[in-house]
A and B are shown apart, each in its own frame.
Chain A
Amino acid sequence: EVQLVESGGGLVQPGGSLRLSCVASTFTFSNDNMNWVRQAPGKGLEWISYISSSGSTMYYADSVKGRFTISRDSAKNSLFLQMNSLRAEDTAVYYCARDWGSCSGGSCASLPLFDYWGRGTLVTVSS
């Protein structure tokens, strides 16, 4: 069973920075595409960033582009989100989530939907 555990959330002032981490308990992390998804209090889900298994491809939502940076350290089974220039509207629970994947007969496929999620870490941006 894959487990994802986020950390690093907390209270930060507008304009400040925070770095989130997500540690995965899975032997396949180096083969997994990973994402960050957030949820503002009482609101819906918002995808914010993706990183490929190799770390060579990253995508961002427009709402965070230029301010957030996704990265990974597959040797440590870890995913990161560096968040700079934080705004009040960035207040949310931040989830790491794994792309759906399936292997059969030695061939693996993945899709950009999320089969495993962490429990989330709360980021509050307020003065």
Chain B
Amino acid sequence: EIVMAQSPATLSVSPGERATLSCRASHSVNNDVAWYQQKPGQAPRLLIYGASTRATGTPARFSGSGSGTEFTLTISSLQSEDFAVYYCQQYKTWPPLTFGGGTKVEIK
């Protein structure tokens, strides 16, 4: 099973600032990583797949990068609606499909 580890667990950022979230895979997953955003009481929403391809409707301020075992989600200028929990997921080697533990982006 491929383990996905996200850091930090919580990120405190001021609106308008840049946020950088990390995700590390226990084995290489090439670029088969997706990122999701989840707000309280809501289902997750797909943001990024293929490590760097924005899903339909994802704002351009969200960008993904990385390959192999190290991945990054960057939010260039945080808006109020971006404060949420973010999860990475690998889909290179499955079953099982595995998620990281999440990074909570909170208002500083």
Contact = CB atoms under 8 A, between A and B. Distances in A.
Contacts of A47: 89, 95-99
A112 B91 contact: yes
A61 interface: yes
Interface residues of B, number: 23
Size range of the interface on A? 20 to 34
Interface string B57-98: 000000000000000000000000000000101010011111
B99 A46 contact: yes
Contacts of B43: 95, 117-120
Contacts of A45: 36, 38, 44, 87, 89, 99, 102
Contacts of A118: 43
Contact of A114 (B46, B95, B102): B46
Interface string A31-68: 00001000000001111001000000001111000000
22 contacts: A44-B100, A44-B101, A44-B102, A45-B36, A45-B102, A46-B99, A47-B95, A47-B96, A47-B98, A50-B95, A59-B94, A61-B95, A100-B34, A112-B91, A112-B97, A113-B89, A114-B34, A114-B46, A117-B44, A118-B43, A119-B42, A120-B43
